[in-house]
Amino acid sequence: MTLTRVFPEPEAEGDAADLPRSVDGLDPASRDWLLQRYTPAPDAYLRVNMIASLNGGVAGSDGTSDSLSSRLDRRILGVIRELADVVLVGAGSLRAEGYVVPARAALAVVTSSGNLAGHRLEQSTHSEAARRDSAPRQSVYILCPRSAVARAEDAASGSRATVVPLDDENGVLAPSGILAALRTLGLPRIVCEGGPVLAGQFFAADLVDEFCLSTSPQVVLGGRGLLESNMTGSTGFRMRQLLLDDRGATYARWERSRPTRS
């Protein structure tokens, strides 16, 4: 499947201007092309990476993001994860999407209640056997309020997960506290994959450095929206990159138009 960079123009790309404009996104040789397209600054960062329908829904006809996604979208997802230290998700997404531990990044799960029913907190089984056997086992962390530690530990029994208790306010974890905890664990490069509530909290707190958004060329009615928050606010972003595949899906990379708040 052909993947074409449509923004920015080559002359505006600086060091990346010598890369080809189009590649076969499913060819193993395109991995380096994608790595260069998605490599962030070396500093600590929070990158939100999500997929949506044309009308902003986060689930397709099957009730999950799988029916919005494609092989190429999952290829890009893998590259973005490879560049991160940790993949961060909410417990609802863990249950709905059937997460397994990424091959090259830790997994961190945020839960206010400690309820992880239906989780799959084991190593990914999608890698080739030889690679899986030789690759180090990635860490799993469950971030929860101190009042939910016992329930989280019970839910994670039999897995390799480490429960990380955090201070909370009426059972709600502060977005800044979540990021601080991950950085204390030595995981400063963070990719949040949702769901809508967790990602919305980070946007509302003005903590997102970069937003990677895949858009599937379909309209899906009746589902949840991309971001949810009971707070109001606005954060300015500018387009860093836009890729287009030959089925009409787009892969946008937006970066903050001003420094993040400390």
> In the chain, where are the structural domains located?
1-7+21-39, 44-59+78-125+136-228
Q: Superfamily assignment of 44-59+78-125+136-228 in CATH? A: Dihydrofolate Reductase, subunit A (3.40.430.10)
Crossing angle for the helix pair 71-82 and 31-38, to the nearest 10 degrees: 60
Cα(198)–Cα(50) distance, rounded to whole angstroms? 12
How far from 179 is each of 99, 166, 207, CA to CA, in Å?
A: 20, 11, 9
Structure tokens at 225: 């929206």
Contact yes or no for 138/160 (Cβ under 8 A): no
Residues of the chain with pLDDT under 50: 123-134, 262
- Per residue in 73-129, pLDDT tens? 999 999 999 999 999 999 988 887 777 788 899 999 999 999 887 666 654 433 333
Task: Provide the pLDDT for residue 132.
Answer: 40
Contact yes or no for 110/173 (Cβ under 8 A): yes
Task: Provide the pLDDT for residue 184.
Answer: 97
Task: Provide the pLDDT for residue 128.
Answer: 34
Task: Provide the pLDDT for residue 165.
Answer: 96
DSSP codes of every residue in 24-49: ETTSGGGHHHHHHHH---SS-EEEEE
Task: Provide the pLDDT for residue 217.
Answer: 97
Task: Provide the pLDDT for residue 131.
Answer: 41
